[in-house]
Structure 1
Amino acid sequence: MTFGPLYLSALGIVSALGTGIDETRTTLRGDRVADMIARDGFMASGSTILGTVTQAPAKLPEHLTRHDTRNNRLLWAATCQIRDQITDLIATTGKDRIGIVMGTSTSGIEEGTTDYQATLDQGTFPEGFLYSHQEIGSPADFLREAFDLGGPAYVISTACSSSAKAFAASARLIKAGLCDAVLVGGVDSLCRLTVRGFDALQSISAGVCNPMSIHRDGINIGEGAALFILRRDAGEVELLGVGESSDAHHPNAPHPDGKGAALAMQNALANANVTASDIAYINLHGTATPLNDGMEARAVCDVLGPDVPASSTKPMTGHTLGAAGAIEAAILWLSLSDAPDRASLPRHIWDGKKDADIPELQLINDTNAHLAPMDRYAMMSNSFAFGGSNVSVILGRGWQRGKPA
């Protein structure tokens, strides 16, 4: 079952790549250093490198202060970049026909952690404590109230596949006739709970993460938000398809042969009605953990072959967990937006030391960082999560030309 023509007509983004489309694009092209910063206070002791939004997000409007968390401030920073497009959409579509589907894993848990610690120290909850801040549904509730929308509004929280799955859910809302457009994306903020949790799993890198290297030793956690407008009737960048799978191999380890990852990619190709040879670029999940990179390299070679241009952008964003799928879809969106001139692909940042035990991929460097001009492109992004929740998203340009919306 294909989605039919669906377009991602606008993008707002904030991450360690920067704030907004222009700064993000500049960092991806190597003309600005990503904000991967060593920070204290998130580990039980010592510092760790985190993908950080360094520009402090503005406070929420006065009438929305009950939603005030860093998570929602990051979401608002991305939302305000496309606020005019959302307002125009409401005027033409009607607020009751617009849905919201977000992905997150942290919501306002960092504020909750701080408030609970204050309670232990002082014996009472601090003034301003709201349990709702740390509810997973908070980002969707916030956006719904911000724009007074009446369509379905909810959050998906499946760890690192959350906001990738949001694209499939949003497409189904439109295909089912429940919405004419959906605000779709993801948001996550830095949180002691998640950083220390990954540290307990011995998955935190000692430096900047080093995906696909024989020296890879774990991830960097990051934060950020990306928000799109998904609709049938306008846009150049298309949501061609989404593939999902659940291998349920282990609570926190992927299947070593990449069976679930391969199935998600195969399902995405089928859903998009494209072939492996149509994929011009793949943004790898590429966490730089030994197990993930090994299985993903095998799965990519099995499904797409070893010659597809590939890179992991997590050394420039950190692993933004519930927001990763949306932020990495945004990276595809930026490349596809440039496609009529010369599609620029993000380089794979690593030490260049290959792991002989995993298949070799066509990792992007300075010599292969641009695609030749073509009439149409398709690009894929992978997101894999705890419990074997796997998602592949395919975006494109030029595929629906001439077809009715």
Structure 2
Amino acid sequence: MPEQIMGTPMSTDQQPNLSSAVGIQFSAALSALGQDAAALQNALTQDESTLSARTDLIAGRSVWVGAYPQALSSDVPAELQDAGSRNLRFALTALAKIEADVRAYTAQFPKQRLAVVIGTSTSGIADNESMLKARFQQQSSTPVLHQKQEMGSLAKALQAHLGWEGAAYTISTACSSAAKAMAAGQRLLNADLADAVLVGGVDTLCKLTLNGFDSLESLSSSICQPCGASRDGINIGEAAGLFLLSKAPAPVMLLSSGESMDAWHISAPHPEGQGAAEAMQQALNAAGLSAADIGYLNLHGTSTPQNDAMEIKAVQSVFVDVHVPLSSTKHKTGHCLGAAGAIEAYICQQVLLDQSWLPLHHAGELDSALADQHYVRDSRLPQPMRYAMSNSFAFGGSNISLILGRVLP
């Protein structure tokens, strides 16, 4: 395997376009990495695995997943019981970590100006799987409460819990859902349709998802190795990531997003990475930055042969002659589907706040065709950085890149 030396881009020192930037006032994220920023940093800077083997998700065999290791809140308010699900409890557990701050901060705004935009792909279907199976096998006539698995129920439930009265909706574009929810929240603020927006993504492990990806022959037989020589598929994970955005400055800002739509294939990405490259370039253009300004790139990096190959082609076309440190964190979190963009944006936020570390890429052998990149092999940040990019690419070619920046002294 050729030696990989982490490079650092030379900044162009150009001033970013902050006209549409929004501040991340508060944030929380739960995943296989743990329940706070310290646990997340420790997990992402060590080689030890954070995934676990489960035998209860696919009949007859074990599968590696990124499961949240802590207990979830069981306190679902009575008015939310119809939408009660593990997905909602995951969201409420994450929200509880910042809820007091969120309520105090948003008390200055009219309730009609407070919005919620959440990304998910599974919603609460895991809670209905056993009931649906029993009905299909004619072993039960108990009504199935579909509200808990409706895509829109999560955002509406969080709105009701907070007592807000502004816009509330869910985005479900598979693996780009949470990142698109963040971009949508930014647009609501810039269109003056809201004063503060709770955004993010929540997805939980369920049999439907695992068996679906298994039918596509997309699950890895072991712990995934993004861009690895022997990569053979993904590990599914679960996560909840929430951010309160407003127009006020904050230590880390959501500067921009870039979106594109391949419509190349129902599940496969464009083989040349055209849509992925377009999304990255649009994000740079919107932020008023060049590729050389990006200090870290969090790859979508699923560990499937086609996705990784096309993404590196896209990186090569956008980051021409730029040695950007990059890594995929999915060997640590699993692919968290509709919540992937949220947990990975949270990772970028913590890197920008701490200014001391970068998330390690996996330590396995790289695909020689993809190895000519500056994968993060040493977690120490060699010099201060101001901007990070996070990629999320979904089925159907629904692509988005986010740029976060540390713009305050």
Q: TM-score, normalised by structure 1?
A: 0.93
User: Pairwise mapping of residues 353-368 of structure 1 onto structure 2 (< 5 A)?
Assistant: 353-358=365-370, 360-366=372-378
Give the SS at the match of 2:64.
strand
Give the SS at the match of 1:93.
coil
Q: CA deviation at 1:167?
A: 1.5
Instruction: Measure, in 2, the Cα distance between the counterparts of 1:158 and 1:291.
Output: 19
CA contact (8 A) 1:213 1:350 kept: no
Instruction: Measure, in 2, the Cα distance between the counterparts of 1:35 and 1:72.
Output: 23
Q: CA deviation at 1:3?
A: 5.2
User: Pairwise mapping of residues 255-334 of structure 1 onto structure 2 (< 5 A)?
Assistant: 255-305=270-320, 307-334=323-350
Match of 1:387 among 376, 392, 396: 396
Q: CA deviation at 1:60?
A: 2.9
CA distances 1:163-218 after superposition (whole Å, capped 9, x unpaired)? 11112111111111110110000000001111111111111000000111111100
CA contact (8 A) 1:348 1:365 kept: yes
Alignment match, 1:48: 63
User: Pairwise mapping of residues 39-118 of structure 1 onto structure 2 (< 5 A)?
Assistant: 39-63=54-78, 64-118=80-134
Does residue 13 (structure 1) correspond to residue 29 (structure 2)? The answer is yes
Does residue 220 (structure 1) correspond to residue 235 (structure 2)? The answer is yes
CA contact (8 A) 2:123 2:148 kept: yes
Instruction: Measure, in 2, the Cα distance between the counterparts of 1:252 and 1:91.
Output: 43
Q: CA RMSD in A?
A: 1.7
CA contact (8 A) 1:212 1:355 kept: yes
Segments ≥4 residues shifted beyond 4 Å: none
CA distances 1:76-115 after superposition (whole Å, capped 9, x unpaired)? 1110010111111231123221111110000011112221
Give the SS at the match of 2:71.
coil
Q: CA deviation at 1:62?
A: 3.4
Does residue 378 (structure 1) correspond to residue 378 (structure 2)? The answer is no
CA distances 1:276-316 after superposition (whole Å, capped 9, x unpaired)? 11000000000000000101111111101361100000000
User: Pairwise mapping of residues 148-297 of structure 1 onto structure 2 (< 5 A)?
Assistant: 148-297=163-312
Higher RCO (CA 8 Å, separation ≥ 6 residues): 2
Q: 1:156 to 1:8 in 2, by over 3 A?
A: same
Instruction: Measure, in 2, the Cα distance between the counterparts of 1:183 and 1:271.
Output: 22
- What letter matches 2:384 in structure 1? P
CA contact (8 A) 1:301 1:359 kept: no
> Would you say how many aligned residue pairs link Structure 1 and Structure 2?
391
- What letter matches 2:155 in structure 1? A
- What letter matches 1:204 in structure 2? L
- What letter matches 2:85 in structure 1? T
CA contact (8 A) 2:43 2:50 kept: no
CA contact (8 A) 1:17 1:34 kept: no
Indicate the larger mover: 36-45 or 210-219: 36-45
Unaligned 5+ runs, structure 2: 1-16
Instruction: Measure, in 2, the Cα distance between the counterparts of 1:372 and 1:156.
Output: 37
Aligned-residue identity in percent:
45
- What letter matches 1:397 in structure 2? R
Instruction: Measure, in 2, the Cα distance between the counterparts of 1:327 and 1:354.
Output: 24
Q: TM-score, normalised by structure 2?
A: 0.92
CA contact (8 A) 2:20 2:256 kept: no
Q: CA deviation at 1:328?
A: 0.2
Alignment match, 2:6: none
Q: CA deviation at 1:2?
A: 6.9
Unaligned 5+ runs, structure 1: none
